[in-house]
Amino acid sequence: MPTPPRSVLEVFLGFLSIGARSFGGVLPWAHRVIVEERQWLARADFLDVLALCQFLPGPNIANMAVVLGRRWFGLPGALAGFLGLMALPFVWVLALAALYADWATQADVRAVIMGIGVAGGGLFLGTALKLGQPLARKPMALAIIAGCFAAVGLLRVSLLVVLPVAVVLALASARQRWL
């Protein structure tokens, strides 16, 4: 049974541990820490907050830190989540820029970073599989997942177009109890 964090400090440390390790993308780590390691939220609840944050503009997981921090501890919680998420990566990226800016475009370094990025993409796919598991027996849900994936991932249609269409279709299906 998931239990929310007991203190603002715990929120800060949780998001700090997300930021610290989130090479190749933040979402897989957010899911790992919030649902699997610390068990603050059930998977369905995580997906609910994630969906909300995807529909809002701005960095998804920073939004998530704010929404969850607020739910648990109001403004202090939101600030703790946001600052925890950003603190280490901020220091990291400036240090990297100061030390290695000239290396970053070098072929060997670029290849390694690209490999990490591709593996990070794989972690997103794995996380999506976990999140999607409960929907696997609902044909309409699978069709919507496939449609959104194809439109945004394969065809690179702007979210500003895909989002309204997908939401209208999904709401209509949910009303028909297909979802």
Q: Which of residues 49-68 bind another protein (CB under 8 A)?
A: 50-63, 66-67
Going 18 to 19 to 24 to 27, the CA torsion angle's sign is positive
Going 13 to 23 to 63 to 134, the CA torsion angle's sign is negative
Q: Looking at beta carbons only, is 9 or 116 nearer to another protein?
A: 116
- Tokens 């390790």 found at: 21
Kind and range of the H or E run holding 100: helix 60-100
* Least CB distance to another protein at residue 79 (A): 10
Work out whether 90 is an interface residue with another protein (CB under 8 A). yes
* Least CB distance to another protein at residue 25 (A): 6
Residue 84 · residue 65 · CB < 8 Å: yes
Can you read off the two tokens belonging to residue 3? 């239990």
Q: Looking at beta carbons only, is 27 or 34 nearer to another protein?
A: 27
CA angle 116, 118, 123 (to 5 degrees): 90
Give the footprint of another protein on residues 11-30 (CB under 8 A): 19-29
Work out whether 83 is an interface residue with another protein (CB under 8 A). no
Distance separating the N- and C-terminal Cα atoms of the chain: 25
* Least CB distance to another protein at residue 30 (A): 10
Q: 3-class SS at 103?
A: coil
Residue 33 · residue 17 · CB < 8 Å: yes
Q: Looking at beta carbons only, is 8 or 47 nearer to another protein?
A: 47
Give the footprint of another protein on residues 112-131 (CB under 8 A): 112-131
Give the footprint of another protein on residues 127-156 (CB under 8 A): 127-132, 135, 138, 140-142, 144-149, 151-154, 156
Kind and range of the H or E run holding 28: helix 27-31
* Least CB distance to another protein at residue 9 (A): 20
Among 4, 13, 76, 88, binds another protein (CB under 8 A): 88
Number of residues that bind another protein (CB under 8 A): 103
Work out whether 42 is an interface residue with another protein (CB under 8 A). no
